[in-house]
Amino acid sequence: MDVLFFVDVFVILDGPIGRDEEFVEHANQGYELVSFCKGSGVEVFVRSGLVGWLMVENHNKWGVTMSWEDRKTGTRKKVACVYLRPNRSIGEFEEGLDSLRGCDIGMGDFNARNPLWGGKAGDMGTNAYGMSLKRWMGNNGYNVVEHDTLTFRSTSVLDLVVYKSGTNPPNVNLTDKVSLEHCGQMIRIDPKRPVNAQRDNINWRKADWKKVEEDLLRLGCDDGG
């Protein structure tokens, strides 16, 4: 995170987890964990001081859906970040895709290969997930950002961004500064974030997530998420 210090929101896919799939603390100076769900492989960190500005609407085994107020239009916008693991059935994969329905932008690791979004990067391969995603986009009114470089190193384009048809494609940059097998995807969104959090009544609070989990277990509220 220190390398990409100018980013306000980090979504970590397939991050480290403990033996019981509990959250493992990262080196995240200046950021707060705002959402983690067992089994999803998705974590959300937000820059301290902006936590209350971003609303987590849903977090399940497929990923997380977040929203914010677009102060330019006065409407709420939604973005979903998913990790659709390999070796799932097509039915499970399509269930994961449906978690993107209604979002303005969907992004993440789809493990879906198709020349539609990989051709410019020299990836002419197609798999069943890629064909399924193409059908889903056509049926639900989405387009895909075509990357001009590989996102999964030396193999294919697996990390994608889809967006609603009829809207301008989001500004997406790929970075290899994360030093991982996947390139990082950076999306620029201009939601007119609050300049004065106190004046605009943006509230946030640090949470001891381990204590929250212990309290939920004590109250018998654990549903595995």
The string of pLDDT tens digits covering residues 28-78 is 778 888 888 888 888 888 888 777 777 888 898 899 999 887 777 778 889
Residue 223 lies in a domain: no
Please tell me the distance from the alpha carbon of residue 108 to that of residue 175, in angstroms, as a whole number.
14
Residue 148 lies in a domain: yes
Q: Which whole number is the average pLDDT over 110-138?
A: 92
Is the confidence at residue 161, as pLDDT, over 60?
yes
Q: Higher-confidence residue: 137 or 5?
A: 137
Lowest mean pLDDT, pick from 89-98, 138-147, 164-173: 164-173
Q: What is the pLDDT of residue 51?
A: 75
Residue 225 lies in a domain: no
Reported pTM: 0.77
What are the residues whose beta carbons fall under 8 Å from the beta carbon of 222, sequence distance 6 or more?
213, 216
**190 pLDDT tier (thresholds 50, 70, 90):** low
Domain count, the chain: 1
Q: Average per-residue pLDDT in the chain?
A: 81
Contact 105, 168 (CB under 8 A): no
Please tell me the distance from the alpha carbon of residue 58 to that of residue 37, in angstroms, as a whole number.
10
**196 pLDDT tier (thresholds 50, 70, 90):** low
What CATH number did the domain enclosing 157 receive?
3.60.10.10
Residue 23 lies in a domain: yes
Residue 98 lies in a domain: yes
**177 pLDDT tier (thresholds 50, 70, 90):** low
Q: What is the pLDDT of residue 215?
A: 77
Contact 66, 58 (CB under 8 A): no
The number of helices, as runs of H, and strands, as runs of E, in the chain is: 4, 11
Residue 155 lies in a domain: yes
Burial status of residue 111 (CB atoms within 10 A of its CB: 0-12, 13-18, 19 or more): buried
Q: Sign (positive/negative) of CA torsion 204, 72, 36, 170? A: negative
DSSP three-state, residue 101: coil
Kindly state the tokens that stand for 149: 């470089």
Q: What is the pLDDT of residue 123?
A: 85
Q: What is the residue range of 213's domain?
A: 9-218
- Can you name the residues that pair with 201 across neighbouring β-strands? none
Residue 2 lies in a domain: no
- Can you name the residues that pair with 32 across neighbouring β-strands? 46
Residue 3 lies in a domain: no
Q: Could you write out the DSSP letters of every residue in 167-212?
A: SPPPEEEEE-TT-SSBPEEEEE------S-TTTTT-------HHHH
